[in-house]
């Protein structure tokens, strides 16, 4: 499970890039109770996410992972086939760098220090899980293990989707923070919006909510698009995947009792 412990390779930041920061702030406030403070979202005063206005028409969520040395980890990224990305707010002095994996998916490398990190996870309104969707799970696993030395446990889900459960090095299944996964649309019996497939691969943040269906209804009423409808999974809970009104993908989960 996610924690706020600063463990190398663990997610320690999630940031929304959106073309309309004011409207997006109102949208997520209605869903999660967040309040925007400059370029961070807070829940009852605690930092739970970042937000930055983007020039792109389509928004997106991006994850960052803890590292003790962002420059060295960026070197591991390029050695494994990724690239450095030019991003506003990224610099060696703040310990924040952005990179892309071989599929072009952007993510951050974040040292503990002056840059904010998540103050709350695994609680209502906070980040709960991170999932990477790709049609090449083995390739993604090889890249991210080369960069972060993550532990990975390969499983095949009941619908035939390949999946590798991820945790920081040495933490094993109890420290699981996310998964690499491919989910064929035909296995789900539904057809997601075409925009879901446009990136080819993506990191998807999951946020904890008290009631999945109520949150989905609130999101749809405010212009969101449903990607995967609410479904209950044993030992996981009830969850659904959405695109916010500006195209940023995220999921919500109401944990199993």
List, for residues 143-179, the tens digit of each pLDDT value: 999 999 999 888 877 666 778 999 988 888 888 999 9
Asked if 79 contacts 146 with a C-beta cutoff of 8 angstroms, the reply is yes
Mean pLDDT of all residues in 37-49? 97
Q: Are 107 and 94 in contact (CB under 8 A)?
A: no
**pLDDT digit string (tens) for 175-204?**
899 999 886 554 455 566 666 666 678 999
CA distance 184 to 73: 32
Query: Are residues 159 and 165 in contact, defined by beta-carbon separation less than 8 angstroms?
Result: no
Nearest in space to 107 (alpha carbons), one of 175, 40, 13: 13
Q: Which residues pair with 66 in a beta bridge?
A: 110
SS3 199: coil
Considering only CA atoms, which of 248, 256, 203 is closest in space to residue 227?
A: 248
Beta strands in the chain (DSSP E): 11-18, 35-37, 40-43, 46-53, 60-66, 83-85, 96-100, 106-110, 127-133, 151-156, 162-167, 178-181, 202-208, 225-233, 237-243, 249-255
Q: Is the pTM of this model over 0.95?
A: no
Is the pLDDT at 257 greater than 50, yes or no? Answer: no
């Amino acid at each position: 499970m996610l924690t706020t412990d600063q463990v190398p390779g663990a997610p320690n930041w999630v940031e929304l890039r959106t073309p309309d920061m004011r409207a997006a702030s109102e949208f997520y406030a209605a869903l999660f109770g967040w309040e925007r403070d400059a370029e961070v979202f807070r829940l009852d005063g605690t930092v739970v996410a970042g937000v930055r206005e983007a020039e792109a028409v389509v928004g997106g969520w991006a994850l960052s992972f803890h590292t003790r040395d962002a420059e060295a980890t960026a070197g591991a990224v390029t050695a494994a086939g990724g690239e450095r990305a030019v991003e506003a707010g990224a610099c060696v002095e703040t310990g924040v760098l952005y990179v892309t994996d071989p599929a072009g998916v952007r993510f951050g490398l974040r040292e503990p220090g002056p840059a904010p990190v998540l103050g709350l996870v695994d609680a209502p309104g906070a980040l709960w899980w991170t999932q990477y969707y790709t049609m090449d799970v083995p390739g993604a696993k090889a890249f991210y293990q080369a960069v972060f030395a993550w532990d990975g446990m390969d499983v095949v889900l009941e619908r035939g989707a390949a999946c590798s459960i991820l945790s920081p090095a040495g933490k094993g299944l109890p420290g699981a923070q996310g998964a690499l996964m491919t989910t064929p649309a035909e296995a789900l019996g539904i057809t997601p919006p075409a925009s879901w497939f446009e990136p080819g691969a993506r990191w998807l943040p999951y946020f904890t909510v008290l009631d999945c269906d109520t949150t989905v209804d609130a999101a749809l009423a405010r212009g969101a698009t449903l990607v995967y409808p609410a479904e209950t999974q044993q030992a996981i809970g009830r969850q659904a995947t959405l695109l916010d009104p500006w195209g940023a993908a995220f999921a919500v989960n109401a944990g199993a009792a």
